Amino acid sequence: MTDFQPDPAIAPAVQVIPREAHALSRKQMSQNALRVLYRLREGGFAAYLVGGAVRDLLVGGAPKDFDVATDATPEQVKALFRNCRLIGRRFRLAHVVYGREIIEVATFRANGGDDDGDRQTDDGGRLLRDNIYGSIEDDAVRRDFTANALYYTIEDFSVRDYVGGYADVQARVLRLIGDPETRYREDPVRMLRAARLAAKLGFTIEAGTAAPVPALAHLLAEASPARLFEETLKLFLSGHAAASFEWLEQLGLLPALLPETAQALASNKSGALRRMLLQGLRNTDARVANDEPVSPAFLYAVLLWPAYCRTLALLQAQGVHPVEAQRRAADRVSLHQVGRTALPRRFSLPMQEIWLLQPRFTQRQRKRVYRLLAHPRFRAAFDFLALRLTASDAHAEDVAFWREVQLDPAATVAASELRTAESAEGDDAEGEANDGDAPASRKRRRRRRPPAGAPA
């Protein structure tokens, strides 16, 4: 499309890995993605499968989605597909929709066209901001890691490699394209992507790619909380949470992402809180592996529990009444975290409930037992109690008691009757399930139920 002047320093000559030399086959690919590739070619355009899908297939993984890169403009793509819609304002992308599968088709892009805020000017000095298209070589070098910049073509079923990504995938190494510090400054979220992809792929991080991270970790404060929230969910709800956490620690990213938890872990000499947190993440990974649902609320309850415990201890040391201290600690920790990673209330409220229900597991009066059992957050709170055993066996008796209770038919019947009665009485009754443990403001907030089907 553009006149490409190869600069061997940025864009080394293409290396072509022929069909017989690599492990990719069309059988492993989405039929819809292939349809898109063929249609674009029939339209006279170049089209490649690129990014995570090529990378994952090369290491024997199952890609989440299939992305296509092409020299057709979004409008030209749209003209070829009836089932196509254009999205994005600054950089337009084409989505080709096949039922529930969306094939994202992006026009080759030069650096500065995406999230990094980099501005470029053309020969006349005009600001090129909205659509900065480029050659395939431009497109390759603006990607983050070499493993993410491999292009598969149906022309001859080869893989095109402009940045040495094929050798890196073979060696299972994650390496930033270009100068690492520059690339992290352009977009600090790339540091989190390094941790996440290393964890997901079981790759090592090349020394030059890892080295600048601890000193640049603070730049994450400039990233938008909403994007950091999304990235946090990807880090911890994609089946590689424990490994992701360990990479975050190793790269010195924890204080930037979860500042108060990092602080609490550092001052918890016994290591009990870290043990519990890691066990919680391993449990999450096991659930993902078994296709069981996982919830951001429970995840955040685990991630921020060390921060909560520390804040609670500080407040109690100041003489704040325990019940009040719990409420304040929960509010304070959520509030502080929201400044870093966004945390929508539909997740932070159940997270707080999971914490605030913990003391109620020590109660044994029959009526209170039934009430807790009937609580909409009982299951999550109980799972959390069980998880706390990893940190201390002080709760062993409670866990045993509540395990029994759940098997007791009389208790389950009583609890379900309570639930029915409460939902018949409406929202007011739900607030009452608090047993007066929490002040009125919390009762009111609890009326906001999580979306139906939200997992425990």
- Residues between 103 and 122 with contacts to ligand ATP, criterion CB under 6 A: 115
| Residue 115 site contact among Mg ion, ligand ATP, none (CB < 5 to 8 Å, cut-off depends on kind) | ligand ATP
188 in contact with Mg ion (CB under 5 A):
no
The 67-106 site mask, x for binding ligand ATP (CB under 6 A), equals x---------------------------------------
Min dist CB 51 to ligand ATP, Å, is 3
Min dist CB 161 to ligand ATP, Å, is 13
Among 46, 103, 189, 273, binds ligand ATP (CB under 6 A): 189
> β-pairing, 173-174 with 204-205?
parallel
The 33-52 site mask, x for binding Mg ion (CB under 5 A), equals -------------------x
| Amino acid code (one letter) for 86 | L
Joined tokens for residue 6: 């190869």
134 in contact with ligand ATP (CB under 6 A):
no
Which helix (H) or strand (E) segment holds residue 16: the answer is strand 15-17
Joined tokens for residue 40: 């674009």
Joined tokens for residue 391: 């940190």
296 in contact with ligand ATP (CB under 6 A):
no
- Taking the CB of residue 328, how many other CB atoms lie within 10 A of it? 15
| Residue 148 site contact among ligand ATP, Mg ion, none (CB < 5 to 8 Å, cut-off depends on kind) | ligand ATP
Distance CA 357, CA 373 (A): 11
358 in contact with ligand ATP (CB under 6 A):
no
Q: Compare residues 190 and 274 and give the one whose CB is closer to ligand ATP.
A: 190
Distance CA 192, CA 182 (A): 15
| Amino acid code (one letter) for 29 | M
Among the residue ranges 38-46, 117-125, 183-191, 253-261, the one whose residues contact ligand ATP (CB under 6 A)? 183-191
Count of residues in the chain: 456
Report, as residue numbers or ranges, the catalytic residues: 65, 67, 144
The 138-167 site mask, x for binding ligand ATP (CB under 6 A), equals -----xx---xx------------------
> DSSP string of 33-89?
HHHHHHHHHHTT--EEEETHHHHHHHTT---S--EEEESS-HHHHHHH-TTEEEE-S
Cβ neighbours for 418, distance < 8 A, ≥ 6 positions apart: 370, 371, 374
The residue ranges that bind ligand ATP (CB under 6 A) are: 51-52, 64, 67, 115, 143-144, 148-149, 187, 189-190
